[in-house]
Amino acid sequence: MRILFTSLRNSSHFLPLIPFIEACRRRGHEVGVAAPADFATRAADAGAAFFPFGHPGEARLGPIWKTMHGASPAEVNRISVGEIFAGACAGSAIPALLETLDVWRPSVVVRESQEYAALVAAAKREIPQVRVAISAPSGEVSLYRNAVPYVDAHLRAAGLPPDPTGTRLAQETALTLFPAALELPATGGTVHRYRALRGEAAPLPDWWGGRPGPFVYVTMGTVVGGFEMLRSAYRTVLDALADLPARVLLTIGGDLAIEALGEVPAHVHVERFVPQDQVIPHAAAVVCHGGSGTMLGAAAAGVPLVVTPMFADQPFNAERAFAAGSALALPTRELAAPPLRQALARVLAEPSFRTAAQRIAGEIAALPSIDEAAVTIERLARN
């Protein structure tokens, strides 16, 4: 069976697809990835054939991104999900994606949540389609409200039945690694939940020269360093950690100059990237922005969190982890070092947070293996 995955060019959007791609390959299926042209290497690394589709380009998107500076979280989501992902990106991708469906003829199309061209192209060619929820499926419901008018316009332009209320999005089947413990009550279409395959973490490198104290992992994901208006969060975090009796690993991604951090405390080791599954299991706590990948990694390892949400699905994730008792959440727009230091000290000191985190980890461990997702995709293709 041929299975085509589609993605935007953001790492945080493509990485959640990889466990599903690998599961399909283990089942012996031929896998392809359709994405913007600069994703060819990543598709090859995943063992997939690659099919490029259009991208609106930075000259077009740059001015739109700038309108988000100082905007409210709701307005940021309206612009990013609506104007950019469902609007400009999907519109640029649809023509080449239709050609790929005609030439490669997959049995099913699997899109990541914010890649909307597949929703239209698969419907146009009458090919079964399913999504991988890259964030909590119940949280994606509110994000989708921003996409509805743009998806409806693409459907109309393709000569398909209009969908002004977003019924197609609401009823879409979703595959996810999120446990029910980090969700709202079921809404929308059918959700299939799985657990990723995670190997045993290697011993933690001694980046601190034998220094004692609990290990704290701090990350703001892979893209925050690229946004000038968000970079001050790193300084706030470093100030909060300044007198903490702990060993700290801070990852900053590829877009931020290390010298831009300013003075780094001696007990804080900085890396651009580490495989989080190799470090999170060793952590006494994780400080993060609430990105889905970090949230899931901590949840699967039973590690409590301090969350400083910024945009997209992060406020929802922070709210659900707080409600589950495994995290404390702080408002990023008013983030200051003293309350962040106090929150981290509390999460480290009070066992209730780790108890709640381990309860979620137990729920994840009881989910079907990701390999069952490939079986579900096969069944959806046949139906």
Structural domains of the chain sorted by starting position, each given as residue range(s) with its CATH number in brackets: 2-195+368-382 (3.40.50.2000), 215-365 (3.40.50.2000)
pLDDT one digit per residue (tens) for the chain, 383 residues: 999 999 999 888 999 999 999 999 999 999 999 999 999 999 999 999 999 999 999 899 889 888 887 778 788 889 999 999 999 999 999 999 999 999 999 999 999 999 999 999 999 999 999 999 999 998 888 889 999 999 999 999 999 999 999 998 988 999 999 999 999 886 678 999 999 998 888 999 999 998 999 999 999 865 544 444 455 778 888 999 888 899 999 998 776 778 778 888 889 999 988 999 999 999 999 999 898 899 999 999 999 999 998 777 888 999 999 999 999 998 766 678 899 999 999 999 999 999 999 999 999 999 999 999 999 999 999 88
Nearest to 118 by CA among 107, 129, 104: 129
Answer for the pair 188, 171: CB distance below 8 angstroms, yes or no: yes
Question: Cβ neighbours of residue 107 under 8 Å, at least 6 residues apart?
Answer: 1, 2, 3, 127, 128, 381
Q: Which amino acid is at 86?
A: A
Instruction: Give one DSSP letter per residue of 28-69, joined into a string.
Output: T-EEEEEEEGGGHHHHHHTT-EEEEE----HHHHHHHHHTTT
The pLDDT assigned to 18 comes to: 95
In whole angstroms, give the CA distance from residue 164 to residue 150. 9
In whole angstroms, give the CA distance from residue 110 to residue 174. 10
The pLDDT assigned to 187 comes to: 66
The pLDDT assigned to 199 comes to: 84
In whole angstroms, give the CA distance from residue 214 to residue 201. 17
The pair of structure tokens assigned to 49 is 């054939």
The pair of structure tokens assigned to 207 is 């980046």
Question: Cβ neighbours of residue 224 under 8 Å, at least 6 residues apart?
Answer: 230, 231, 233, 253, 256, 289, 310
Q: In what order do the strands lie in the sheet with 2-6?
A: 49-53, 30-36, 2-6, 108-112, 129-132, 174-176, 191-193
The total number of residues written for the chain in this structure: 383
In whole angstroms, give the CA distance from residue 313 to residue 61. 21
Q: Which amino acid is at 233?
A: A
**Stated pTM of the model:** 0.89
Please state, in angstroms and as integers, the Cα–Cα distance from residue 216 to each residue in 31, 247, 352, following that order: 38, 6, 17
The pLDDT assigned to 229 comes to: 44
